[in-house]
Amino acid sequence: MAELTAFSFQSGTSLLHKLDVRFKLLFLILISLVSLGGGFTGLGALTGLVTGLSIHSRLPLKSAFKEFRFFLIFLVLILVARMLATPGTAIIEIKSFAITRSGLMSGVLICWRLVIIAFVGFLFIYTTPSSEIKAAVDWFLKPAAFIPGKRIATMMGLIARFIPVILNQARETTEAQRARCVENRKNPLYRIVRLGVPLIRRTFEQADRLIVAMEARCYSENRTDPDLSATRTDWLALLVIIIICGWIVSI
Amino acid sequence: MDIIEIENLKHRFADGTLGLDGINLKIRAGAFVVVAGPNGSGKTTLIRHLNGLMLPTDGCVKVAGISVQKDLMRARRLVGMMFQDADSQIVGETVYQDVAFGPENLRLDNDQIRERVSLALDVVGLKDFAQQRPHLLSGGEKRRLAIAGILAMEPKVIAFDEPFASLDYPGVKQVLRQILTLHQAGHTILVITHDLEKVLAHADRLIIMQKGKIVRDGVPAEIVDDIETFGVRAPCASHLGMEVRSWLN
Protein backbone atom coordinates (compact mmCIF):
# COMPACT_ATOMS: atom_id res chain seq x y z
CA MET A 1 0.00 0.00 0.00
CA ALA A 2 1.34 3.39 -0.95
CA GLU A 3 1.42 6.38 1.35
CA LEU A 4 0.00 9.28 -0.57
CA THR A 5 0.71 12.95 -0.53
CA ALA A 6 -2.19 15.18 0.55
CA PHE A 7 -1.47 17.40 -2.42
CA SER A 8 -3.90 15.62 -4.73
CA PHE A 9 -7.61 15.28 -5.29
CA GLN A 10 -9.62 13.33 -2.76
CA SER A 11 -13.27 12.62 -3.48
CA GLY A 12 -15.71 13.74 -0.81
CA THR A 13 -19.11 15.19 -0.07
CA SER A 14 -18.16 18.57 1.42
CA LEU A 15 -19.52 21.88 0.12
CA LEU A 16 -16.27 22.57 -1.71
CA HIS A 17 -16.41 19.15 -3.38
CA LYS A 18 -19.92 19.89 -4.60
CA LEU A 19 -19.32 23.42 -5.91
CA ASP A 20 -18.92 24.05 -9.62
CA VAL A 21 -15.21 24.17 -10.49
CA ARG A 22 -15.59 27.50 -12.35
CA PHE A 23 -16.84 29.15 -9.15
CA LYS A 24 -14.04 27.58 -7.15
CA LEU A 25 -11.53 28.98 -9.61
CA LEU A 26 -13.12 32.42 -9.18
CA PHE A 27 -12.97 32.09 -5.38
CA LEU A 28 -9.30 31.14 -5.61
CA ILE A 29 -8.53 34.25 -7.65
CA LEU A 30 -10.70 36.57 -5.49
CA ILE A 31 -9.33 35.38 -2.15
CA SER A 32 -5.74 35.50 -3.44
CA LEU A 33 -6.14 39.07 -4.72
CA VAL A 34 -7.87 40.28 -1.54
CA SER A 35 -5.28 38.65 0.73
CA LEU A 36 -2.50 40.46 -1.14
CA GLY A 37 -3.93 43.80 0.03
CA GLY A 38 -5.34 42.69 3.40
CA GLY A 39 -4.16 43.83 6.83
CA PHE A 40 -4.07 41.83 10.08
CA THR A 41 -7.86 41.91 10.64
CA GLY A 42 -8.63 40.91 7.06
CA LEU A 43 -6.04 38.14 7.07
CA GLY A 44 -7.43 36.93 10.40
CA ALA A 45 -10.90 36.69 8.86
CA LEU A 46 -9.53 34.89 5.77
CA THR A 47 -7.59 32.50 7.99
CA GLY A 48 -10.78 31.70 9.86
CA LEU A 49 -12.60 31.09 6.57
CA VAL A 50 -9.84 28.90 5.09
CA THR A 51 -9.45 26.93 8.35
CA GLY A 52 -13.20 26.35 8.53
CA LEU A 53 -13.31 25.17 4.91
CA SER A 54 -10.25 22.95 5.43
CA ILE A 55 -11.86 21.23 8.42
CA HIS A 56 -15.20 20.92 6.61
CA SER A 57 -13.49 19.42 3.54
CA ARG A 58 -11.51 17.05 5.78
CA LEU A 59 -8.21 18.31 4.43
CA PRO A 60 -5.53 16.30 6.26
CA LEU A 61 -3.91 19.31 7.96
CA LYS A 62 -0.99 17.35 9.44
CA SER A 63 -0.05 15.95 6.06
CA ALA A 64 -0.62 19.37 4.44
CA PHE A 65 1.84 21.06 6.84
CA LYS A 66 4.31 18.26 6.16
CA GLU A 67 4.10 18.98 2.42
CA PHE A 68 4.61 22.65 3.24
CA ARG A 69 7.96 22.20 4.94
CA PHE A 70 9.99 23.29 1.88
CA PHE A 71 7.66 26.23 1.40
CA LEU A 72 8.29 27.18 5.05
CA ILE A 73 12.02 27.58 4.33
CA PHE A 74 11.08 30.03 1.60
CA LEU A 75 8.82 31.92 4.04
CA VAL A 76 11.56 32.11 6.67
CA LEU A 77 13.92 33.60 4.08
CA ILE A 78 11.31 36.23 3.17
CA LEU A 79 10.71 37.04 6.84
CA VAL A 80 14.41 37.42 7.59
CA ALA A 81 14.97 39.57 4.51
CA ARG A 82 12.07 41.89 5.41
CA MET A 83 13.14 42.14 9.07
CA LEU A 84 16.65 43.16 8.13
CA ALA A 85 15.92 45.32 5.10
CA THR A 86 13.02 47.48 6.32
CA PRO A 87 14.00 50.74 8.03
CA GLY A 88 12.38 51.66 11.37
CA THR A 89 12.73 51.32 15.14
CA ALA A 90 15.22 48.58 15.97
CA ILE A 91 14.05 45.79 18.30
CA ILE A 92 17.31 43.82 18.30
CA GLU A 93 20.70 44.96 17.07
CA ILE A 94 23.52 42.54 16.25
CA LYS A 95 26.68 44.36 15.07
CA SER A 96 25.64 46.26 11.95
CA PHE A 97 22.35 44.33 11.50
CA ALA A 98 19.10 45.56 13.03
CA ILE A 99 15.75 43.83 13.20
CA THR A 100 13.09 46.52 13.00
CA ARG A 101 9.54 46.50 14.31
CA SER A 102 8.11 47.58 10.95
CA GLY A 103 10.26 44.96 9.19
CA LEU A 104 8.96 42.23 11.49
CA MET A 105 5.34 43.38 10.96
CA SER A 106 5.69 43.58 7.20
CA GLY A 107 7.52 40.20 7.02
CA VAL A 108 4.83 38.47 9.07
CA LEU A 109 2.13 40.06 6.92
CA ILE A 110 3.72 38.90 3.65
CA CYS A 111 4.28 35.37 4.94
CA TRP A 112 0.73 35.21 6.28
CA ARG A 113 -0.64 36.27 2.87
CA LEU A 114 1.44 33.64 1.07
CA VAL A 115 0.32 30.92 3.50
CA ILE A 116 -3.33 31.83 2.90
CA ILE A 117 -2.87 31.79 -0.89
CA ALA A 118 -1.03 28.47 -0.71
CA PHE A 119 -3.71 26.92 1.48
CA VAL A 120 -6.54 28.13 -0.77
CA GLY A 121 -4.68 26.53 -3.70
CA PHE A 122 -4.23 23.39 -1.63
CA LEU A 123 -7.97 23.28 -0.88
CA PHE A 124 -8.75 23.79 -4.56
CA ILE A 125 -6.51 20.89 -5.65
CA TYR A 126 -7.78 18.69 -2.82
CA THR A 127 -11.45 19.13 -3.75
CA THR A 128 -11.24 19.32 -7.56
CA PRO A 129 -10.35 16.55 -10.02
CA SER A 130 -7.81 17.63 -12.64
CA SER A 131 -10.29 16.77 -15.43
CA GLU A 132 -12.64 19.44 -14.00
CA ILE A 133 -9.80 21.96 -13.71
CA LYS A 134 -9.05 21.33 -17.39
CA ALA A 135 -12.73 21.75 -18.31
CA ALA A 136 -13.02 25.02 -16.33
CA VAL A 137 -9.85 26.56 -17.80
CA ASP A 138 -11.06 25.54 -21.25
CA TRP A 139 -14.45 27.18 -20.52
CA PHE A 140 -12.87 30.45 -19.34
CA LEU A 141 -10.51 30.65 -22.31
CA LYS A 142 -13.09 29.73 -24.95
CA PRO A 143 -14.11 33.34 -25.72
CA ALA A 144 -10.46 34.26 -26.39
CA ALA A 145 -10.11 32.56 -29.79
CA PHE A 146 -6.44 33.54 -30.14
CA ILE A 147 -5.46 31.61 -26.98
CA PRO A 148 -5.06 27.83 -27.43
CA GLY A 149 -7.49 27.14 -24.56
CA LYS A 150 -7.63 23.36 -24.91
CA ARG A 151 -3.83 23.07 -24.89
CA ILE A 152 -3.44 25.34 -21.84
CA ALA A 153 -6.25 23.53 -20.05
CA THR A 154 -4.67 20.15 -20.84
CA MET A 155 -1.31 21.34 -19.51
CA MET A 156 -2.89 22.65 -16.30
CA GLY A 157 -4.77 19.39 -15.81
CA LEU A 158 -1.56 17.41 -16.32
CA ILE A 159 0.37 19.63 -13.89
CA ALA A 160 -2.29 19.06 -11.24
CA ARG A 161 -2.07 15.33 -11.98
CA PHE A 162 1.73 15.30 -11.86
CA ILE A 163 2.45 17.29 -8.66
CA PRO A 164 1.60 14.38 -6.34
CA VAL A 165 3.69 12.05 -8.50
CA ILE A 166 6.73 14.32 -8.11
CA LEU A 167 6.16 14.68 -4.36
CA ASN A 168 5.91 10.91 -4.04
CA GLN A 169 9.13 10.43 -5.99
CA ALA A 170 10.83 13.00 -3.76
CA ARG A 171 9.70 11.20 -0.62
CA GLU A 172 10.77 7.79 -1.90
CA THR A 173 14.17 9.07 -3.00
CA THR A 174 14.69 10.84 0.35
CA GLU A 175 13.80 7.67 2.26
CA ALA A 176 16.14 5.58 0.09
CA GLN A 177 18.95 8.03 0.82
CA ARG A 178 18.18 8.17 4.54
CA ALA A 179 18.38 4.37 4.57
CA ARG A 180 21.98 4.87 3.38
CA CYS A 181 22.77 7.43 6.11
CA VAL A 182 22.69 10.58 3.99
CA GLU A 183 21.91 12.44 7.23
CA ASN A 184 25.56 12.04 8.23
CA ARG A 185 26.45 14.45 5.45
CA LYS A 186 25.90 17.91 6.93
CA ASN A 187 26.54 19.90 3.75
CA PRO A 188 23.05 20.95 2.53
CA LEU A 189 24.32 21.58 -1.01
CA TYR A 190 25.66 18.03 -1.26
CA ARG A 191 22.31 16.68 -0.06
CA ILE A 192 20.30 18.84 -2.45
CA VAL A 193 22.40 17.70 -5.43
CA ARG A 194 22.21 14.06 -4.31
CA LEU A 195 18.42 14.34 -4.03
CA GLY A 196 17.82 16.56 -7.07
CA VAL A 197 19.64 14.59 -9.75
CA PRO A 198 17.97 11.19 -9.21
CA LEU A 199 14.65 12.91 -8.53
CA ILE A 200 14.70 14.72 -11.87
CA ARG A 201 15.78 11.56 -13.69
CA ARG A 202 13.07 9.44 -12.06
CA THR A 203 10.44 12.11 -12.68
CA PHE A 204 11.24 12.18 -16.38
CA GLU A 205 11.21 8.37 -16.56
CA GLN A 206 7.85 8.32 -14.79
CA ALA A 207 6.56 11.00 -17.16
CA ASP A 208 7.68 8.88 -20.12
CA ARG A 209 5.81 5.83 -18.81
CA LEU A 210 2.73 7.92 -18.13
CA ILE A 211 2.78 9.32 -21.67
CA VAL A 212 2.98 5.84 -23.19
CA ALA A 213 0.08 4.67 -20.98
CA MET A 214 -1.97 7.72 -21.98
CA GLU A 215 -1.22 7.21 -25.67
CA ALA A 216 -2.26 3.56 -25.40
CA ARG A 217 -5.64 4.84 -24.24
CA CYS A 218 -6.06 7.24 -27.17
CA TYR A 219 -5.23 10.46 -25.28
CA SER A 220 -5.90 13.69 -27.14
CA GLU A 221 -6.71 17.31 -26.29
CA ASN A 222 -10.18 16.86 -27.73
CA ARG A 223 -11.81 14.62 -25.19
CA THR A 224 -15.13 14.52 -23.39
CA ASP A 225 -15.00 16.94 -20.49
CA PRO A 226 -17.11 16.55 -17.35
CA ASP A 227 -20.48 18.31 -17.34
CA LEU A 228 -20.23 21.74 -15.71
CA SER A 229 -23.44 23.11 -14.26
CA ALA A 230 -23.95 26.01 -11.85
CA THR A 231 -26.55 25.58 -9.13
CA ARG A 232 -28.12 28.00 -6.65
CA THR A 233 -25.55 26.94 -4.05
CA ASP A 234 -22.73 28.09 -6.37
CA TRP A 235 -24.26 31.55 -6.81
CA LEU A 236 -24.97 31.80 -3.08
CA ALA A 237 -21.37 30.87 -2.29
CA LEU A 238 -20.15 33.48 -4.78
CA LEU A 239 -22.30 36.11 -3.05
CA VAL A 240 -20.89 35.18 0.37
CA ILE A 241 -17.30 35.30 -0.91
CA ILE A 242 -17.88 38.68 -2.59
CA ILE A 243 -19.33 40.09 0.65
CA ILE A 244 -16.39 38.80 2.71
CA CYS A 245 -13.84 40.08 0.18
CA GLY A 246 -15.64 43.44 -0.05
CA TRP A 247 -15.59 43.80 3.75
CA ILE A 248 -11.86 42.97 3.90
CA VAL A 249 -11.06 45.51 1.18
CA SER A 250 -13.10 48.19 2.97
CA ILE A 251 -11.29 47.85 6.34
CA MET B 1 -10.31 -15.29 -38.77
CA ASP B 2 -6.89 -13.83 -37.93
CA ILE B 3 -7.29 -10.69 -35.83
CA ILE B 4 -3.57 -9.93 -35.86
CA GLU B 5 -1.38 -10.30 -38.94
CA ILE B 6 2.28 -9.39 -38.81
CA GLU B 7 4.44 -9.59 -41.92
CA ASN B 8 8.22 -9.31 -41.93
CA LEU B 9 8.18 -6.87 -39.00
CA LYS B 10 11.50 -5.22 -38.24
CA HIS B 11 12.20 -2.56 -35.65
CA ARG B 12 15.48 -0.80 -35.21
CA PHE B 13 15.94 1.48 -32.18
CA ALA B 14 17.44 4.95 -32.41
CA ASP B 15 20.82 3.63 -31.20
CA GLY B 16 20.92 1.15 -34.09
CA THR B 17 20.03 -1.98 -32.09
CA LEU B 18 17.74 -4.36 -33.91
CA GLY B 19 14.76 -4.94 -31.61
CA LEU B 20 12.69 -7.10 -33.94
CA ASP B 21 14.11 -9.01 -36.86
CA GLY B 22 11.64 -10.23 -39.48
CA ILE B 23 8.67 -11.31 -37.38
CA ASN B 24 5.87 -13.14 -39.21
CA LEU B 25 2.91 -13.95 -37.05
CA LYS B 26 -0.82 -14.53 -37.32
CA ILE B 27 -3.11 -14.78 -34.31
CA ARG B 28 -6.68 -15.95 -34.69
CA ALA B 29 -9.51 -14.17 -32.92
CA GLY B 30 -10.25 -15.65 -29.50
CA ALA B 31 -6.83 -17.27 -29.05
CA PHE B 32 -4.92 -17.38 -25.77
CA VAL B 33 -1.27 -16.85 -26.64
CA VAL B 34 1.70 -16.73 -24.30
CA VAL B 35 4.82 -15.00 -25.59
CA ALA B 36 7.94 -15.85 -23.59
CA GLY B 37 11.61 -15.08 -23.84
CA PRO B 38 14.51 -13.74 -21.83
CA ASN B 39 14.95 -10.02 -21.10
CA GLY B 40 15.73 -8.06 -24.26
CA SER B 41 14.28 -10.71 -26.57
CA GLY B 42 11.79 -8.25 -28.07
CA LYS B 43 8.53 -9.32 -26.39
CA THR B 44 7.50 -5.85 -25.24
CA THR B 45 8.69 -4.25 -28.47
CA LEU B 46 6.51 -6.71 -30.38
CA ILE B 47 3.28 -5.98 -28.51
CA ARG B 48 3.87 -2.24 -28.63
CA HIS B 49 3.58 -2.54 -32.40
CA LEU B 50 0.07 -3.94 -32.09
CA ASN B 51 -1.44 -0.61 -31.10
CA GLY B 52 1.07 1.72 -32.68
CA LEU B 53 2.98 2.72 -29.56
CA MET B 54 5.96 1.73 -31.70
CA LEU B 55 5.96 1.80 -35.47
CA PRO B 56 7.78 -0.67 -37.72
CA THR B 57 11.07 0.20 -39.36
CA ASP B 58 10.02 -2.31 -41.99
CA GLY B 59 7.09 -4.68 -42.49
CA CYS B 60 3.44 -4.40 -41.64
CA VAL B 61 1.15 -4.98 -38.67
CA LYS B 62 -2.58 -5.37 -39.28
CA VAL B 63 -5.30 -5.52 -36.66
CA ALA B 64 -8.65 -6.89 -37.86
CA GLY B 65 -7.52 -6.50 -41.45
CA ILE B 66 -6.37 -2.85 -41.36
CA SER B 67 -2.82 -1.60 -41.02
CA VAL B 68 -2.07 -0.11 -37.59
CA GLN B 69 -0.18 2.79 -39.17
CA LYS B 70 -3.19 3.75 -41.30
CA ASP B 71 -5.49 4.20 -38.33
CA LEU B 72 -3.69 4.46 -35.00
CA MET B 73 -6.79 5.35 -32.98
CA ARG B 74 -8.65 2.31 -34.28
CA ALA B 75 -5.72 0.06 -33.40
CA ARG B 76 -5.54 1.54 -29.88
CA ARG B 77 -9.25 1.02 -29.40
CA LEU B 78 -9.10 -2.59 -30.62
CA VAL B 79 -5.92 -3.59 -28.79
CA GLY B 80 -5.92 -2.86 -25.08
CA MET B 81 -2.60 -3.03 -23.30
CA MET B 82 -1.74 -3.67 -19.69
CA PHE B 83 1.76 -2.56 -18.82
CA GLN B 84 4.22 -4.22 -16.51
CA ASP B 85 4.12 -1.37 -14.00
CA ALA B 86 0.45 -0.93 -13.14
CA ASP B 87 1.22 2.29 -11.21
CA SER B 88 2.49 4.05 -14.30
CA GLN B 89 -0.74 3.16 -16.09
CA ILE B 90 -2.89 4.95 -13.53
CA VAL B 91 -3.96 8.28 -14.94
CA GLY B 92 -7.06 9.19 -12.94
CA GLU B 93 -7.28 10.58 -9.43
CA THR B 94 -10.02 8.17 -8.45
CA VAL B 95 -10.74 4.64 -9.60
CA TYR B 96 -13.80 5.89 -11.50
CA GLN B 97 -11.87 8.65 -13.25
CA ASP B 98 -9.10 6.30 -14.23
CA VAL B 99 -11.50 3.90 -15.93
CA ALA B 100 -13.31 6.84 -17.56
CA PHE B 101 -10.05 8.14 -19.08
CA GLY B 102 -10.21 5.94 -22.22
CA PRO B 103 -13.90 6.50 -23.04
CA GLU B 104 -13.38 10.26 -22.53
CA ASN B 105 -10.60 10.15 -25.12
CA LEU B 106 -12.94 8.32 -27.48
CA ARG B 107 -15.25 11.36 -27.12
CA LEU B 108 -18.24 9.33 -25.95
CA ASP B 109 -20.97 11.31 -24.24
CA ASN B 110 -21.05 11.39 -20.45
CA ASP B 111 -23.97 8.94 -20.15
CA GLN B 112 -22.16 6.35 -22.26
CA ILE B 113 -18.99 6.92 -20.24
CA ARG B 114 -20.83 6.34 -16.96
CA GLU B 115 -22.38 3.16 -18.37
CA ARG B 116 -19.05 1.76 -19.62
CA VAL B 117 -17.19 2.60 -16.42
CA SER B 118 -19.86 1.02 -14.28
CA LEU B 119 -19.82 -2.15 -16.40
CA ALA B 120 -16.02 -2.39 -16.45
CA LEU B 121 -15.75 -1.90 -12.67
CA ASP B 122 -18.42 -4.53 -12.19
CA VAL B 123 -16.51 -7.05 -14.34
CA VAL B 124 -13.30 -6.64 -12.31
CA GLY B 125 -15.11 -6.43 -8.97
CA LEU B 126 -14.01 -2.89 -8.09
CA LYS B 127 -17.41 -1.18 -8.10
CA ASP B 128 -17.22 -0.46 -4.37
CA PHE B 129 -13.85 1.27 -4.85
CA ALA B 130 -15.09 3.77 -7.45
CA GLN B 131 -14.28 6.87 -5.36
CA GLN B 132 -11.07 5.44 -3.85
CA ARG B 133 -7.65 6.85 -4.74
CA PRO B 134 -6.09 4.29 -7.10
CA HIS B 135 -2.66 4.47 -5.49
CA LEU B 136 -4.10 3.08 -2.28
CA LEU B 137 -5.21 -0.17 -3.92
CA SER B 138 -3.24 -3.39 -3.47
CA GLY B 139 -1.03 -4.73 -6.29
CA GLY B 140 -3.70 -7.17 -7.54
CA GLU B 141 -6.41 -4.50 -7.35
CA LYS B 142 -4.27 -2.05 -9.32
CA ARG B 143 -3.87 -4.58 -12.10
CA ARG B 144 -7.63 -5.22 -12.06
CA LEU B 145 -8.12 -1.47 -12.31
CA ALA B 146 -5.80 -1.39 -15.32
CA ILE B 147 -7.90 -4.17 -16.86
CA ALA B 148 -11.09 -2.16 -16.18
CA GLY B 149 -9.52 0.86 -17.89
CA ILE B 150 -8.86 -1.29 -20.94
CA LEU B 151 -12.29 -2.95 -20.89
CA ALA B 152 -14.05 0.42 -20.88
CA MET B 153 -12.63 0.96 -24.37
CA GLU B 154 -14.22 -2.32 -25.53
CA PRO B 155 -11.14 -3.85 -27.18
CA LYS B 156 -11.03 -7.14 -29.10
CA VAL B 157 -7.46 -8.00 -28.12
CA ILE B 158 -5.90 -7.53 -24.69
CA ALA B 159 -2.14 -7.74 -24.31
CA PHE B 160 -0.68 -8.21 -20.83
CA ASP B 161 2.98 -7.35 -20.29
CA GLU B 162 4.27 -9.35 -17.32
CA PRO B 163 0.88 -9.28 -15.54
CA PHE B 164 2.11 -11.24 -12.51
CA ALA B 165 5.30 -9.32 -11.81
CA SER B 166 5.73 -8.50 -8.10
CA LEU B 167 2.33 -9.87 -7.11
CA ASP B 168 1.76 -12.09 -4.10
CA TYR B 169 -0.02 -15.46 -4.51
CA PRO B 170 -3.58 -14.12 -3.97
CA GLY B 171 -2.76 -11.26 -6.36
CA VAL B 172 -1.58 -13.70 -9.05
CA LYS B 173 -4.78 -15.74 -8.65
CA GLN B 174 -6.97 -12.61 -8.85
CA VAL B 175 -5.32 -11.43 -12.07
CA LEU B 176 -5.22 -14.91 -13.62
CA ARG B 177 -8.91 -15.41 -12.88
CA GLN B 178 -9.61 -12.07 -14.52
CA ILE B 179 -7.62 -12.97 -17.62
CA LEU B 180 -9.52 -16.25 -17.98
CA THR B 181 -12.86 -14.47 -17.60
CA LEU B 182 -11.90 -12.09 -20.39
CA HIS B 183 -10.84 -15.00 -22.59
CA GLN B 184 -14.12 -16.79 -21.95
CA ALA B 185 -15.94 -13.58 -22.88
CA GLY B 186 -14.37 -13.82 -26.34
CA HIS B 187 -11.33 -11.54 -26.10
CA THR B 188 -8.09 -12.52 -27.77
CA ILE B 189 -5.48 -12.72 -25.02
CA LEU B 190 -1.74 -12.19 -25.33
CA VAL B 191 0.33 -12.68 -22.21
CA ILE B 192 3.96 -11.69 -22.24
CA THR B 193 6.02 -13.29 -19.55
CA HIS B 194 9.26 -15.03 -18.78
CA ASP B 195 7.53 -16.91 -15.98
CA LEU B 196 5.45 -19.63 -17.67
CA GLU B 197 4.55 -21.45 -14.45
CA LYS B 198 1.55 -19.27 -13.69
CA VAL B 199 -0.20 -19.13 -17.01
CA LEU B 200 0.89 -21.88 -19.38
CA ALA B 201 -1.87 -24.30 -18.32
CA HIS B 202 -4.43 -22.00 -19.90
CA ALA B 203 -2.66 -21.09 -23.14
CA ASP B 204 -3.46 -22.67 -26.47
CA ARG B 205 -0.30 -21.36 -28.10
CA LEU B 206 3.21 -20.63 -26.92
CA ILE B 207 5.64 -18.37 -28.76
CA ILE B 208 9.30 -18.17 -27.72
CA MET B 209 11.37 -15.16 -28.72
CA GLN B 210 15.11 -14.67 -28.71
CA LYS B 211 17.14 -11.75 -30.04
CA GLY B 212 14.15 -10.21 -31.81
CA LYS B 213 13.10 -13.41 -33.59
CA ILE B 214 10.45 -16.05 -33.05
CA VAL B 215 12.40 -19.25 -32.39
CA ARG B 216 9.52 -21.54 -31.35
CA ASP B 217 5.80 -21.33 -32.02
CA GLY B 218 3.27 -24.04 -31.27
CA VAL B 219 1.03 -25.87 -28.84
CA PRO B 220 2.63 -25.51 -25.35
CA ALA B 221 2.82 -29.22 -24.58
CA GLU B 222 4.66 -29.88 -27.84
CA ILE B 223 7.37 -27.25 -27.55
CA VAL B 224 7.81 -26.74 -23.82
CA ASP B 225 10.50 -29.42 -23.44
CA ASP B 226 13.35 -27.57 -25.15
CA ILE B 227 12.54 -23.96 -24.27
CA GLU B 228 15.25 -23.75 -21.62
CA THR B 229 17.83 -23.64 -24.42
CA PHE B 230 16.35 -20.21 -25.23
CA GLY B 231 16.68 -18.83 -21.71
CA VAL B 232 13.12 -19.50 -20.54
CA ARG B 233 12.51 -21.61 -17.44
CA ALA B 234 10.10 -24.47 -18.19
CA PRO B 235 7.35 -25.12 -15.60
CA CYS B 236 8.31 -27.56 -12.83
CA ALA B 237 5.60 -30.03 -13.87
CA SER B 238 7.12 -30.45 -17.32
CA HIS B 239 10.50 -31.24 -15.72
CA LEU B 240 8.78 -34.08 -13.89
CA GLY B 241 7.03 -35.27 -17.04
CA MET B 242 3.66 -34.18 -15.71
CA GLU B 243 0.95 -32.03 -17.18
CA VAL B 244 1.24 -28.31 -16.30
CA ARG B 245 -1.58 -27.50 -13.88
CA SER B 246 -3.46 -24.27 -13.34
CA TRP B 247 -2.67 -22.08 -10.36
CA LEU B 248 -6.38 -21.77 -9.79
CA ASN B 249 -6.87 -25.46 -8.94
- Distance between CA atoms of residues B160 and A216, nearest Å: 13
**CA-based nearest distance A98→chain B, Å:** 49
Neighbours of A3 (CB within 10 A): 11
Mean pLDDT of A162-190: 84
pLDDT score for B148: 94
Look at residue B140 and tell me if it is in a domain: yes
Residues A41 and A94 in one domain: yes
pLDDT digits (tens, 9 = 90+) for B96-142: 999 999 999 999 999 999 999 999 999 999 999 999 888 788 888 99
B105 → closest Cβ in A161, A210, A219? A219
- Distance between CA atoms of residues A226 and A2, nearest Å: 28
pLDDT score for A6: 61
Residues A107 and A219 in one domain: no
Could you list the residue range(s) of the whole structural domain that residue A47 is in?
1-128+234-251
Give the closest residue to A11 by CA, choosing from A126, A122, A119, A165.
A126
Q: Per the CB < 8 Å rule, is B94 touching A206? A: no
A54 touches chain B (CB under 8 A): no
- Distance between CA atoms of residues A148 and A137, nearest Å: 11
A2 touches chain B (CB under 8 A): yes
pLDDT score for B52: 93
Residue B205 has pLDDT above 60, yes or no: yes
Neighbours of A250 (CB within 10 A): 7
pLDDT digits (tens, 9 = 90+) for A15-62: 999 999 999 999 999 999 999 888 889 999 999 999 999 999 988 888
Residues A151 and A66 in one domain: no
Residues A3 and A122 in one domain: yes
Q: What is the pTM of this model?
A: 0.80
pLDDT score for A5: 59
Which one-letter amino acid corresponds to residue B161?
D
pLDDT bin (cut points 50, 70, 90) of residue B171 is confident
Look at residue B169 and tell me if it is in a domain: yes
Look at residue B244 and tell me if it is in a domain: no
Which residue of chain B comes nearest to A129, CA vs CA?
B93
Residues A107 and A27 in one domain: yes
What residues have CB less than 8 Å from B172, skipping those under 6 apart? B140, B164, B198, B247
Mean pLDDT for all residues in chain A: 86
What percentage of chain B exceeds 90 in pLDDT? 70
Look at residue B203 and tell me if it is in a domain: yes
Which residue of chain A comes nearest to B150, CA vs CA?
A217
| Helix segments in chain A, DSSP class H | 15-18, 21-37, 40-56, 61-67, 69-85, 101-127, 130-141, 149-178, 188-216, 232-250
**Stretch (H or E) spanning B146:** helix B139-151
CB B131 within 8 A of CB A11: yes
Residue A68 has pLDDT above 50, yes or no: yes
* ipTM of model over 0.85: no
Which one-letter amino acid corresponds to residue B112?
Q
Q: Which of A212, A217, A229 to mutate to test the interface with B (most CBs of B within 10 A)?
A: A217
Q: Per the CB < 8 Å rule, is A4 touching B135? A: yes
**CA-based nearest distance B82→chain A, Å:** 9
Total tally of structural domains belonging to chain A: 2
CB contacts, 8 Å: B107 with chain A: 222-224
pLDDT score for A151: 77
Mean pLDDT of B15-25: 94
Look at residue B191 and tell me if it is in a domain: yes
Look at residue B170 and tell me if it is in a domain: yes
pLDDT score for A3: 47
B101 touches chain A (CB under 8 A): yes
Residue B195's CATH number: 3.40.50.300
B93 → closest Cβ in A130, A210, A220? A130
Taken in order A232, A238, A240, A243, the sign of the CA dihedral is: negative
A10 touches chain B (CB under 8 A): yes
Could you list the residue range(s) of the whole structural domain that residue B122 is in?
2-239
Q: Per the CB < 8 Å rule, is A224 touching B131? A: no
Mean pLDDT for all residues in chain B: 91
Residue A2 has pLDDT above 50, yes or no: no
